[in-house]
Amino acid sequence: MTVPRAWRNPEKIRHCRPRPVTDAPAQIPDSKVGQLDFLLHRSGTLDLIDAELAGRPGPDGLPVRTVLIGLLLSLHYNQSASLADACRILLDQLQPPARSWLAIPDIDRDDQWARHAFSRRVYRSFDRLTTALDPLRIDRRRRLPLAEAAAHTAAWEDNDTERLRRRALLQDISDRLVLVTVRLAQRRGLFKGWRGDIGADTTAVPAWHHEPSDQRDLASVEVTAGWHFSGGSNKGVFGHSATLLVAASRRHSVGHPNAGRRISKHPQLALGAVLDTPGKRVGPNAIHSLTTLVPLGLPVGLLAADRAYTDQKTEHFQLHARRMGYQLALDYKRDQRGVQGTHLGAILVDGTLACSCMPDVLANATTGLDDKAVRDLDETLEQRLAKREPYFLKLKQGPAPDGTIRLQCPAAGPSPSVTCARFNRLHRPQASAPVVVDLTNARATAAHRSAKPSIQISPAERLRPPNEDKLPRICRKPTITVRPGDLGMIDKFRQDRPYLSPTWHDAYKPIRSHNEGLNGRAKGHHIDIADPRKRLAHGRVAQTVLLALMILMINLQILHDWTRTSSPEPIKADDGQGYDGLVPMPPTANGLPPPPG
Distances from the Cα of 402 to the Cα of 312, 325, 576, angstroms: 20, 6, 42
**In this structure, what DSSP letter does residue 239 have?**
E
Cβ neighbourhood burial of 219 (10 Å; 0-12, 13-18, 19+): buried
Query: Residue 47's pLDDT is what?
Result: 94
Does residue 444 lie within any of the structural domains? Answer: no
Q: Which of 543, 506, 538, 583 is nearest to 220 (CA)?
A: 538
Angle between helices 30-43 and 161-187 (to 10 degrees): 120
Q: Which of 310, 296, 326 is nearest to 196 (CA)?
A: 326
Task: Assign 3-state DSSP to the chain and report helix, strand, coil percentages, each to 5.
Answer: 45, 15, 45
Rounded to whole angstroms, the Cα distance separating 273 from 370 reads: 32
**Which amino acid is located at 143 in the chain?**
R
Contact 525, 75 (CB under 8 A): no
Task: Output the CA angle 267-273-276, nearest 5 degrees.
Answer: 155
Give the list of residues 6+ apart from residue 375 with CB closer than 8 angstroms, or none: none
| Phi-psi map region of 534: left, alpha, beta (phi>0 left; psi -120 to 50 alpha) | alpha
Contact 182, 555 (CB under 8 A): yes
Rounded to whole angstroms, the Cα distance separating 306 from 195 reads: 20
Rounded to whole angstroms, the Cα distance separating 367 from 374 reads: 10
Rounded to whole angstroms, the Cα distance separating 455 from 472 reads: 15
Rounded to whole angstroms, the Cα distance separating 586 from 397 reads: 53
- Per residue in 58-110, pLDDT tens? 777 789 999 999 999 999 999 999 999 999 999 999 999 999 989 998 888 88
Q: Which of 304, 341, 298 is nearest to 321 (CA)?
A: 304
Rounded to whole angstroms, the Cα distance separating 553 from 547 reads: 10
Strand order in the sheet with 394-397: 394-397, 405-408, 479-482
- Per residue in 168-196, pLDDT tens? 999 999 999 999 999 999 998 899 989 99
Does residue 383 lie within any of the structural domains? Answer: yes
From first to last of its 597 residues, what are the pLDDT tens digits of the chain?
555 665 567 777 666 666 666 666 788 999 899 999 999 999 999 999 999 998 888 777 789 999 999 999 999 999 999 999 999 999 999 999 999 989 998 888 888 999 999 999 999 999 999 999 999 888 777 888 898 888 888 989 999 999 999 999 999 999 999 999 999 999 988 999 899 999 999 999 999 888 998 889 898 989 999 999 987 677 889 999 999 999 999 998 887 888 888 888 899 999 999 999 999 999 999 999 999 999 999 999 999 999 999 999 999 999 999 999 999 999 999 999 999 999 999 999 999 999 999 999 999 999 999 989 888 889 999 999 999 999 999 999 878 888 899 999 999 988 888 989 888 888 877 666 666 766 677 666 666 666 688 888 888 888 888 888 888 899 999 899 999 999 999 999 999 999 999 999 999 999 999 999 999 999 987 899 999 999 988 889 999 999 999 999 999 999 998 888 876 555 655 544 567 788 887 765 545 566 565
Does residue 351 lie within any of the structural domains? Answer: yes
Specify the 3-state DSSP secondary structure of 240.
Answer: strand
- Which domain, by its residues, includes 354? 347-427+450-460+467-487
Query: Residue 575's pLDDT is what?
Result: 46
Rounded to whole angstroms, the Cα distance separating 417 from 392 reads: 9
Does residue 300 lie within any of the structural domains? Answer: no
Rounded to whole angstroms, the Cα distance separating 500 from 513 reads: 16
Does residue 66 lie within any of the structural domains? Answer: no
Distances from the Cα of 345 to the Cα of 354, 391, 471, angstroms: 9, 13, 8
Does residue 414 lie within any of the structural domains? Answer: yes
Contact 339, 348 (CB under 8 A): yes
Cβ-count burial 455-485 (b if 16+ within 10 Å, e if not): beeeeeeeeeeeeeeebbebbeebebebebb
pTM summary value: 0.90
Torsion of the alpha carbons at 559, 561, 563 and 566, rounded to the nearest 10: -120
Beta strands in 130-235 (DSSP E): 198-206, 226-228
Q: SS3 letters for 96-156?
A: HHHHHHCCCCCCCCCCHHHHHHHHHHHHHHHHHHHHHHCCCCCCCCCCCEHHHHHHHHHHH
Rounded to whole angstroms, the Cα distance separating 168 from 288 reads: 11
Rounded to whole angstroms, the Cα distance separating 95 from 26 reads: 10
Does residue 378 lie within any of the structural domains? Answer: yes
Specify the 3-state DSSP secondary structure of 354.
Answer: strand
Rounded to whole angstroms, the Cα distance separating 484 from 504 reads: 20
Does residue 365 lie within any of the structural domains? Answer: yes
- Which helix (H) or strand (E) covers residue 327, if one does? strand 327-329
- Tally the domains of the chain: 1
**Which amino acid is located at 218 in the chain?**
L
Query: Residue 269's pLDDT is what?
Result: 96
Distances from the Cα of 482 to the Cα of 222, 322, 382, 496, 586, angstroms: 45, 11, 28, 12, 55
